[in-house]
Amino acid sequence: MFGKTKFSNRETFVLIVLSVAAFVPMLWLALQSAARNWRFPLLFPAEFSGRAWEYLLDSSSGILPALFNSLIIALTVTFISIALAIPAARAVALHDFRGKNFLFFLMLMPILSPSVATAIGGHAFFLRYGLTDSWFGVMLIHLIPTLPYCLLTLASSFARFEVDLETQARTLGASTWQVWRYITLPSLAPAIAVSAVFAFLISWSQYLTTLLIGGGKIMTLPLVLISFQRGTDEAVTAALTLVFLVPAVLFLLISARFWKATK
Amino acid sequence: MNKFVLFAVLFLALLPACQKKGADAAQFTVQDFQNAKWKDVETKAQGTTVSFAMWGGDEARNRFMNTEAAVRLKDKYGITLNILPLGDTAEAVNKLLNEKQANKTGGGSIDMIWINGENFRTAKQANLLWASFAERLPNIRYYEADANKRDFGTLIDGLEAPWQKAQFVLAYDSARFYSPPRNIPALGDWIRNNPGRFTYIAPPDFTGSAFLRHILFHFGGGAKNFQEFDEQLYAEASAKTFAFLNEIKPFLWRKGETYPQSPKELDKLFANAEVDFAYNYGANFASERIKRGEYPPTVRTFVFDAGTISNYNYLTIPFNAANPAGALVVINYLMSPEYQIAQSRALGSVYPHKLDALTAEEKQLVSGLERGAATLSAEELAAHAVPEADSEYLERLEKDWREKVLLP
């Protein structure tokens, strides 16, 4: 992934420390999710029980459908964010027009203001237009925080983009699709991958917006997770947290393959 | 640029077209309800779906509602029960507040809510509730009359129907000591003699502030005096309460510099034997934790001699419920002995009905209900039950605690 460069000793050390720091909480969660009677001063649980995992897999708990809903929403939102952010970022980075800075500022507003305000204000607005309690509404409100991140990431990539390459390809007879596929996309790929991670993770972890706009009808994993987090059941909360982490980590790993520019 | 403006205008112009049509023709208004016989309500509810917003942090309860309760409702009334789990009931209330402001008066996504206390008061004051319905439910007759009067001091006016009973109990580990202190002065002595072994949950946590009210009751001559807000009584009793709390502060866990923020944190401290007492609403909470393997099996519960707070929690219908008829039928069913016996059997919850309203057969079933090893008997609980205080006391106590105990 990082080519042939070798790590220095110091880099290796930092890498190990970071991996351990990331891994230990996961291990703890895994133990907690299956533990019974795990109390101080026991280092490891005295007994194990599959209760929490059984509950998660039980059809009555509704957790698998919630996981599925979360995936559909996060993937769709990621796709739409990038599809919208690419032309917008291009316009902002490569063209000059009146009010550009102001427009750019407007586009970034959602991440500059507190997210609770966006959620509650958005709810009032969505209600007026009948967009609540629907899939469409939930995805739309997720786009509010995801779009600015995609836009920022892509705009910085477009700023370094050689438009001349596109012109050259076109002069050589490439179609619009070919230009996009062989010139634009490869040079943007790392930025697209990074913004996809942002969009996916942000949408994946939305709680308040999904709750308000989805009205509880659109059940996603964070809704289930938070309702358990506020309860006292440690095992189920730990198991759910792991379930919540896995797709996020997988998505991160997949996208990391594209972080290095293809030449 | 012109194209952009054009698209933006088009998009905004098209938005209202997405507006949902008002609720379907099969609506059931408050007037319909007032004119209908109960049988008509049941007929109307047949085959509908009811969305029930309830706090969803309890795996056993979620499982029970989604399986046994849902199946019974389907069999009896053809109703499909759809649970909307909430992290906090206040979220549903906030959603309704927004919907009220936006004038969304029908077709709401919530048909009924599990509610009580401050959330009920907010909802009632903001007119977020459907109508006065509780007195007309056939199964209201199983409940004590006072269950239907005040909820944390707020007049109920039939806007919510009693569902379950919860009583505040304290837990200790019988393997660590034999007899817990059963009144506030004795508890004070115990804390001074066992430095670092006691703490309480910081208000405004719901359970944390309930513990403080027991001290307030002690210094104000008992819970009976706190049913309606009295400024002078509050001033006197709260001054003594805060003096007591400040006096025990140096003997608390971590010298009172920090407090657990939720029952979950107190549970953890107690389970790890860092402190010697935990407490919660729900007489069976310790038995439940033992069953889940979180508390040692030697844990037992107790109540104060002067009594502990017992309250009801309720079911209500939002003003914009899409299916109020269905909600009425579900609520009435959840109040029935059939349901309550099944729930107590599955969750170990305390049976909420007055026993003389039951048939001989039902009485037998209720007396045969098993309770967990750590749960007190229904008689002992009932003999030590005191009502909730007016919620004004609650709010004042929470606010003043910050200034007078936490910060100085």
From the CB of residue B7, how many other CB atoms can be counted at a distance below 10 Å? 10
In total, the C-beta contacts within 8 angstroms joining chain A to chain B are: 127
* Closest to B54 in 3D by CA, of B377, B327, B401: B327
pLDDT of residue B5: 61
Distance CA B4, CA A149 (A): 21
Q: Do B59 and A61 touch (CB under 8 A)?
A: yes
* Contact: B294, A234; criterion CB under 8 Å: yes
Contact with chain A for residue B109, Cβ under 8 A = yes
Tens digits of residue pLDDT in A163-194: 899 999 999 999 999 999 999 999 899 999 99
* Residue B280 dihedral angles phi and psi, to the nearest 5°: -170, 165
B57 contact A CB<8A: yes
Assess whether pLDDT exceeds 70 at residue A234. yes
CA distances from residue A253 to A7, A155, B394 in whole angstroms, order as listed: 20, 23, 50
pLDDT at B22: 41
pLDDT for B331 equals 98
ipTM, two decimals: 0.80
The model carries a pTM of: 0.85
Contact A130 B108 (CB under 8 A): no
Residue B183 has pLDDT above 90, yes or no: yes
Q: Rounded mean pLDDT of B12-36?
A: 65
The pLDDT-based confidence of B20 (bands split at 50, 70, 90) is very low
| Residue range B195-219, pLDDT digits in tens | 999 999 999 888 999 999 999 999 9
Q: How confident is the model at residue B19 (pLDDT cuts 50, 70, 90)?
A: very low
Of A226-230, B317-321, B394-398, the range with the lowest mean pLDDT is A226-230
For A213, which DSSP code? H
Instruction: Mark yes or no for CB contact A61/B63 under 8 Å.
Output: yes
Strand B112-115 and strand B150-151: the pairing is unpaired
pLDDT tens for A79-100 read 999 999 999 999 999 998 899 8
**Residue B330: pLDDT above 60?**
yes
User: Scanning every residue of chain A, which has its alpha carbon at the shortest distance from the alpha carbon of B288?
Assistant: A233
Nearest to B264 among A35, A215, A232 (CB): A232
Instruction: Give bridge partners of residue B170 from the DSSP assignment.
Output: B279, B302
Percentage above 70 pLDDT, chain A: 97
Site from B15, B18, B83, B95 to mutate, A interface, most A CB atoms within 10 angstroms? B95
Mean pLDDT of all residues in chain B? Answer: 91
Q: What is the pLDDT of residue A262?
A: 53
* Average pLDDT value for residue range B398-403: 94
Say what the pLDDT of residue B61 is: 92
